[in-house]
Structure 1
Amino acid sequence: MPAIPSWAWVSGLTAGAIVAVAVLAVRAEGGPQPVAAATPRPSASATADAKPGASPSAKAPAAVPDDSGTGRRIVYSLGDRRVWLVDASDSARRTFTVWPGTVSPDPGAYEVSSRTEATTGSDGVEIENIVYFTAKSGVSIGFSNALDGSSPPPPAEGARTGGVRMRAADGDALWAFGTAGTPVVVVG
């Protein structure tokens, strides 16, 4: 009996593997399918999901700090460089990382005092969705995002900036959520 060349064996095994995978795929389509847990998808009105910062990551989002009060509020953690938009049931509707300015607010309770749709930031960058909540040493402090969603440039030596910057999608969500009078809680 003549020897079968090795290329014929490899071709035969490859064809057999392809057929086996195709059969398994067809059988799998008929079986039970995994179902993702239904979670409410946030609306753009004020409760949306983030890309940190908001980039989605494999790990669970950071929990709302315990010492941040209760009720509907914006929570800003200085140490974590993170913001949470918390609904009336104390559930975080969105959380994302931020880039703080050179002047940080003191930990405490504030509220949204004013809002500006767009302007030029103290660093010369065109910004939008500006939500002010306090001032410190003559510097207004508020949340905003660059029009292009980029991180702020390094501040000039000695510059005093109070903008807490975020990505554009996070800025849109905070703008919708942070109406005048909305509580803002700053934690260490």
Structure 2
Amino acid sequence: MRAPAQRRLIVGITGASGVIYGLRLLECLQNSGIETHLVLTRAAEMTISYETQRSIREVKALADTVYPIADIGAAIASGSFHTLGMAVIPCSMKTLAEIASGVTSNLLTRAADVTLKERRRLVLVPRETPLHLGHLRNMTAVTEYGAIVAPPMPGFYAQPQSIDDIVDHTVGRVLDLFGLDTALVRRWSGKPARTENE
């Protein structure tokens, strides 16, 4: 018997800068009871080698199941394969454009399209700046289709002390969107009380 839908998450990693977000998300879901289904673009594999010290084999080992980018017959390409949804983290502008247009050229964008058509949660983490009007229109389009656009913007109220703190905040907030609570996010509990001397 396979894991129930609410215990499966598709993770897409593209070639945008910031692959550390996707890798950290996979690390956080290991041994969590969430079954991860990973698809990497070819550009993602290149970016992993540029931005991290990890091999592609090590990255793939973080997931429960890994699919080749060209395998359009994979389980995640079908709406009958129940999942909690999909996170594309980071999401390149090319991938965003494909999802916005509905023209899918690989398994990652096909899985995202299936997630939308099945009305499941699709979270896109675009890592690009500055943005031109085409990027913004594509973000509007995917939002109108039901996706959530969640750029990696740190909450400085948490007073991050390291890059890891900044990455963890974003990853924790992405997991929040799937109802997966972690210890990664320092929750805002209101304005600190003022002392009499302030």
Report the TM range for the smaller structure's normalisation: under 0.3
Rg comparison, structure with higher value: 1
Which structure's residues are more often strand, by fraction?
Answer: 1
Give the structure-2-normalised TM-score: 0.20
Which structure's residues are more often helix, by fraction?
Answer: 2
